[in-house]
Structure 1
Amino acid sequence: MKYILFIFLTLSSAVVLSDDDDFFLKERNDPTVENAFAAAKANIDVFLDALKARGSDASKYNYYGVYLKFTEGDTVEFLWLADVQEYKDFYIGVIISEPQLLTDTKYGKTIGFHPSDIYDWQLNEKESGRVLGTFLACATSSEDYLNENGFICSK
């Protein structure tokens, strides 16, 4: 049954999505994805420290994004949030990925979360425009793509 659902979702996604959408369906427990998420969590202090300096003269970054897991029933989808900032005793960000599988989670919605909810993160350097973090993109994209788009990936 799961295999049939996977095929159905894959085929229906191909029909619904345009050629330039970044949506792709991965098998659960994919080791590449799991390792990328583990690396992001292992380096989360880099992101959180940068976030504490956000808005100060000491800040080296102008973009703060996180990748969070959203669940509706049995449906799971990971989405990027931007404009991440501290708010009281947690963080907030705005969903910038267009949900493809979820129905109650909407683009543009502000979401509150805790650091333990972060699966991946991204910082953009003010001076160079280079991208730090994005462990999943680093693990799943071609070297040409990463170089062309300014990703700093640790090997």
Structure 2
Amino acid sequence: MPKRLSTLVLSCLLITAAASPHAAADASDTLRYIEKGDPEMAKALAKAQGGLDNFLATFDNPPAGTENYSVKIGIVDQGDSYALTGLKSVDNVEYFWVSNVKRTGDGFSGTLANDPGVVRNVRSGQEIAFAKGDIFDWMYIRDRKIVGNVTSCPILLRGPAEELQYYRDTLGLEC
């Protein structure tokens, strides 16, 4: 896979559930905010969760032409540390893509694949452990096209039409 596509896929469409719309002014311009309880995001999350077992089966036995298996997890600052949010709807959660995913006993580990914009107690490249219940979304590449990453759709559908079209045409994202 070309480096540009790999980097783009892993860095695309970070989301944060903002406690208030004003929180966006303090964060990186790359973050996209979705209000807590957004109905379109709830539908996307249900779709992601509905496909999670199939994703994990494919992850465990990857077919030819697939690569870059990644998951999205929610993280919040907790004092001088951090906490994983699982699927709970909480204020100030930031969602991170985790790459280099591996099974570890009854859970998983991987590498945070994007820089934080709001959360301050984690960093890109940091190894992190998580459970199946912490997985918010998932994706992988099959024949140079995205499979999964459905939680990006509510974000893209609210953004510039040309951005949505790029993800559809170049990366095969289905929204």
Normalising to structure 2: TM-score of the pair? 0.71
Larger Rg: 1
CA displacement 1:17-49 (0-9 Å, x = unmatched): 35xx2x112211111111111110011012101
1:24 maps to 32
Amino acid at match of 1:50: T
Once superposed, what is the RMSD of the aligned Cα atoms? 2.0
Mapping of residues 33-72 of structure 1, within 5 Å: 33-54=41-62, 58-72=63-77
Once the two structures are superposed, the pairs formed by residues 71-150 of structure 1 within 5 Å of their partners are 71-73=76-78, 75-125=92-142, 128-141=143-156, 142=161, 143-150=164-171
2:16 matched residue in structure 1: none
Which structure 2 segments of 5+ residues have no match?
Answer: 1-18, 79-90
Q: Which has the bigger relative contact order, CA under 8 A and spacing at least 6?
A: 2
Q: Which runs of 5+ in 1 are unaligned?
A: none
What's 2:26 paired with? 12
Distance of aligned partners of 1:91 and 1:60 in 2 relative to their CA distance in 1, 3 Å threshold: farther
* Number of the residue aligned with 2:14: none
The one-letter code sitting in structure 2 at the alignment partner of 1:61 is T
Runs of 4+ in 1 over 3 A off after TM superposition: none
Task: State how far apart, in whole Å, the 2-side matches of 1:144 and 1:7 are.
Answer: 26
- Share of identical aligned residues, percent? 21
- Aligned partners of 1:51 and 1:86 also within 8 Å: no
Query: How many pairs were matched up?
Result: 139
Per-residue CA shift, 1:64-110, capped at 9, x if unaligned? 11110112246311111111121222111110121111111111111
Given the two structures, how large is their TM-score scaled by the length of structure 1? 0.79
